[in-house]
C-alpha cells in the first residue's frame, strides 16, 4: 500500500523545507520508491531536492490545449485524439511521465502554474487519473501543498495517511494552521492523521504559545529549531537534502517521522 504524507501551511512557514527533510528521511531509512509532488505553484521543491525541472504539469496542460485549439478545424481533437492519432489520455500520460525529474531514491512531479483561460475539465480529469495511477507504483508519496490543499481535493484517490500542517512560532501562525487543518473536514479527503509542526523555533517553546497550541484541534507532532547552517544552504542554493544527518533541522524531522511511521 502506498503511504501518502501531505504537507500544508501558509506561505513562508518553511513547509517545502520540511517536505525536503521528510523525503531525505524516507530515502535514508525506508525501503521502497518515493514520489514527491510539488503542488504549490510558488514552491521550489526541485531546488530543495537538487533536481532539474524542465516541464511542469501546468506546462503540459497548456501545451495540450493549444494543440487542441489548433486542430479543432480538422476534427481530430473534437473526436478525442491529438494530431498524429494519439488519444488525449495517451498524450498526457506520455508527457507527464517524461516530465518526471528522477533522482537516485526519489522522483518529482511539479504541478506548476494554475489554470488559465479555457476549458480544463476533461484535461484535468485525465491528468488526475494519470498522476494517481503513477502514484500507486510508489511506496511513499510526499505532497507539498498550497495552503488551501486544492490538489488534495482534486485527486481521484483522496486517502492521506499523514497530514503535516506547518506553522511559524506565532499565535497568528497557529490560528492559520488550525484553519488549514479544518479544511480536511470540509474537503472530500480521508485523512487518517493530522499533526501540527512548529518550525523555526528560537530556543524553547514559550509557555504562552504552548498553552495556545494545546487548545487547538490538532495535536503537535514536534518543533523544528531555527538553524544558521540551513539558512546558509538556502542562501547558496545548495540542495537541502545534502544537509548532514547531524543538522538539528533534519534530526527534528527524523524524530517526528520515527513517531508516525
Q: What's the CA gap between 95 and 81, in Å, rounded?
A: 15
Confidence (pLDDT) at 125: 80
DSSP state of 206: P
- Indicate left, alpha or beta for 239 from its phi (over 0: left) and psi (-120 to 50: alpha): beta
Query: Could you state, in order of their start, the residue ranges of all structural domains in the chain?
Result: 3-260
Among all chains, which residue has been given the C-alpha cell 489554470?
115
DSSP state of 158: -
Sheet holding 190-201, edge to edge: 101-102, 106-110, 34-38, 140-144, 3-8, 159-167, 190-201, 220-225
Within 10 A of 187 (CB to CB), how many other CB atoms are there? Answer: 16
pTM above the 0.85 mark?
Answer: yes
Q: What does DSSP say about strands 190-201 and 106-110: parallel, antiparallel, or unpaired?
A: unpaired
* CATH number listed for the domain at residues 3-260: 3.40.50.300
Confidence (pLDDT) at 201: 97
Q: What's the CA gap between 35 and 22, in Å, rounded?
A: 12
Output the CA torsion 117→135→48→227 (10° steps). Answer: 120
- Indicate left, alpha or beta for 222 from its phi (over 0: left) and psi (-120 to 50: alpha): left
C-alpha cell at 223: 518543533
Residues 46, 103: contact at Cβ < 8 Å? no
**pLDDT < 70: residue spans in the chain:** 43, 71-81, 83-84, 114-121, 156
Confidence (pLDDT) at 79: 47
Amino acid at each position: 500500500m502506498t503511504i501518502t504524507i501531505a504537507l500544508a501551511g501558509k506561505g513562508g512557514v518553511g513547509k517545502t523545507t520540511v517536505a525536503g527533510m521528510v523525503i531525505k528521511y524516507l530515502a535514508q531509512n525506508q525501503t521502497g520508491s518515493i514520489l514527491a509532488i510539488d503542488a504549490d505553484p510558488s514552491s521550489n521543491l526541485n531546488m530543495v531536492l537538487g533536481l532539474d525541472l524542465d516541464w511542469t504539469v501546468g506546462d503540459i496542460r497548456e501545451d495540450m490545449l493549444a494543440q487542441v485549439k489548433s486542430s479543432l478545424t480538422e476534427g481530430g481533437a473534437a473526436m478525442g485524439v491529438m494530431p498524429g492519432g494519439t488519444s488525449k489520455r495517451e498524450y498526457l500520460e506520455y508527457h507527464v511521465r517524461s516530465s518526471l525529474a528522477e533522482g537516485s531514491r526519489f522522483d518529482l512531479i511539479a504541478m506548476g502554474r494554475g489554470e488559465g483561460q479555457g476549458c480544463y475539465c476533461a484535461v484535468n480529469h485525465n491528468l488526475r487519473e494519470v498522476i494517481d495511477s503513477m502514484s500507486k507504483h510508489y511506496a511513499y508519496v510526499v505532497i507539498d501543498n498550497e495552503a488551501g490543499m486544492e490538489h488534495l481535493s482534486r485527486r481521484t484517490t483522496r486517502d492521506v495517511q499523514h497530514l503535516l500542517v506547518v506553522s511559524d512560532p506565532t499565535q497568528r501562525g497557529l490560528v492559520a494552521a488550525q484553519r488549514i487543518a479544518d479544511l480536511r473536514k470540509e474537503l472530500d479527503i480521508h485523512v487518517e492523521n493530522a499533526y501540527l509542526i512548529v518550525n523555526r523555533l528560537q530556543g524553547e517553546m514559550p509557555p504562552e504559545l504552548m498553552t495556545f497550541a494545546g487548545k487547538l484541534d490538532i495535536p503537535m507532532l514536534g518543533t523544528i529549531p531555527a538553524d544558521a547552517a540551513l539558512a546558509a544552504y538556502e542562501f547558496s542554493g545548495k540542495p537541502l537534502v545534502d544537509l548532514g544527518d547531524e543538522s538539528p533541522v533534519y534530526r527534528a524531522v527524523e524524530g517526528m517521522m520515527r513517531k508516525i511511521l
